[in-house]
Amino acid sequence: MPFGKFVSLMIPWTILLLIGMYAIFLCLTKGLNQTNMDNRFAFGVWIFLDLSVIALGAGAFFTGFLVYIMKRDELRAVINSAVVLGFICYSGAILILMVDVGQPLRAWFTFWHPNIHSMLTEVTFCITCYLAVLSVEYAPLVLKNKKLKEIPAFLAMEYELHRIMPVLAGVGTFLSFFHQGSLGGLFGVLQAHPFAFREGLAIWPTTFFLFIISAAAAGPSFILLTTWIVSRISRKRLVSESVYTLLARISGSIPLVYVLLKSIDTFTWLNRTVPQMGLSGMSFFLWAPFNIWILFVEIIVFGLIPSLLLIFGGGRLRAGWLVASAALVCCGILLNRFVMTIQTLSLPTMAFDRFMLYTPSWQEISAFLFVVAYGVIIYSLSFRYLRLFPQETELDRN
C-alpha cells in the first residue's frame, strides 16, 4: 500500500486518538466527575472495556502456549500477530484502568500497599507482569525490522530474546490463567448483587473458571477474525487455509465446552443459588431491555451455533462462514462481560432501589474509543513495518 494512502487511512483514527487523549486529560485532571458513574454505577463502560479487551487479548497467551509449550508449529503463522494483539489489548486495558482508578500520581500504591483481600490486587499484579512479558515478546518483532537488524547489538538482542520465548510463554500462560480467573473471581464476593453472585469451590466461584475458559475461547476467534480482516484490507494471503481451519477448530471446541459449563452454571444459579437467597432467578429477567433474550442470545446464538459451525464446518465451510462464526464467538464474550458488569449494576438490589440504565458521558466514550484507535494504529504500523505473518511471502507464489 502506498505511503500516502496509508497515512490517509490513519488520519481518522489519529483524530479519534487525539479526542480520546483530551478526554483522558480531563478525567485525570478534573476527576471522575467527568464521567456518568456514581455510587450505584461504580463499574461503567471502562470496566466493560477492560474485561472485554483482556478476554480478546487472551489469544496471545493461548497461542504462545500452543506454539512454545504444546509445539503446534502450524500456529507460528499467527504468533507474531497474536503477540501484537495481546500487547495492544493489555496496554489499552492498563491505561484505562489508570484513568478509571484516577489519582495517577498514586498508581504505584496498588503495588506498594496491596489490599491482599482483593482479587483485583492479583489482577493488577498479573496484568502488569503480563504486559512486561508481552513487551519482551514484542521487542524481537521490532528488532527484526530490516534496518534495525543492521545494528549488531539489536541483531544479537533479537536472537537472544527469541531463545527465551518458551520461558516467557510459560510465564504468560501462568499469569493469564490466574488473572483471567480472578476477574471472574470477583463475583464470588458480590453477595449484594444476586444476579452476578456465584458459588464455587473454596474461594473460587464458578465464574473464576468460566472467565478462564471464555477467554481461551475468545482469543483464537479474535485472531482468526483479525487475520481475515487484515487479509481483506491488504488484499494479501497472510496464512494458509490449514491455519484458518486449525484456528477454527480451536475456536469452536473451547466455546462448546464453555457453553456446556455456562449452561450448567446458569441452571445451578437459577435453581440453587438464587432460591437460597430467598429470590426467584427469573425475576432478574423481567426488566426491559435486559429480558430473557439476552441469556438466549449469549448461550445459543453467540455460543452454541458458532461453536458447531467452527468445529464441523472447519474444513468444509467457506471462509466467510468461519469468520462470521468467529465474530459471533467474540460478540458472545463481549455480551457476557456486558451482562456481568453493566446489566448487573442496572438491576435493583434493595427494596427501595429502582432499575437504572446507565449512559456513559462523552469523556467515557472518547476514552473507550481512544483504546480502539490506539489498537488500530499500533497494529497497522506493526503490519506495515514488521513481519507479522511469516507465511505471507510464500503464499504470494500461489
Partner 1 sequence: MLPWIYGFTWQTGNVIFLSIFYCVVAVIFGSFGIAVIRAYRDLTSGRLNEIRWHVDFDDLPEFAKTCRHVFSGEIEYQVCRNGFDCRSCKTHSGIIGVHMGANASYTGNESPSGLTIQSDCMYHRGHTWVHRESDRTLTIGLDPLAERLLWSRGKAELPEVGSRLHVNGAGWYFRNGGSRVRVLSPVDGEVVAVGGRDEGFYLKVNPGDDSDLRHLLKGTEVYPWMTREIERLEILLGADGDGINLADGGVLLDDVAASYPELNWENILAQMLLES
Residues that bind partner 1 (CB under 8 A): 111-116, 122, 125, 129, 132-133, 136, 144, 146, 149, 152-153, 155-161, 163-164, 167-168, 171, 174-175, 387, 390-391, 393-394, 396-397
**Phi, psi (rounded to 5 degrees) for 200:** -175, -145
CB-wise, 227 or 343, nearer to partner 1?
227
CB-wise, 231 or 325, nearer to partner 1?
231
Q: Least Å distance between CB 382 and partner 1? A: 16
Q: Least Å distance between CB 227 and partner 1? A: 18
Q: Least Å distance between CB 369 and partner 1? A: 32
CB-based burial of residue 203 (10 Å sphere; 0-12 exposed, 13-18 middle, 19+ buried)?
Answer: exposed
CB-wise, 34 or 81, nearer to partner 1?
81
Q: Least Å distance between CB 63 and partner 1? A: 18
Q: Least Å distance between CB 239 and partner 1? A: 13
CB-wise, 132 or 365, nearer to partner 1?
132
CB-wise, 22 or 174, nearer to partner 1?
174
CA distance 349 to 130: 36
Q: Least Å distance between CB 1 and partner 1? A: 13
Q: Least Å distance between CB 178 and partner 1? A: 9
- Read off the amino acid at residue 139: A
CA distance 235 to 238: 9
CB-wise, 152 or 289, nearer to partner 1?
152
CA distances from 115 to 94, 108, 178 (A): 18, 13, 17
CA atoms within 13 A on the CB side of 224: 31
CB-wise, 146 or 318, nearer to partner 1?
146
Q: Least Å distance between CB 161 and partner 1? A: 5
CB-wise, 153 or 351, nearer to partner 1?
153
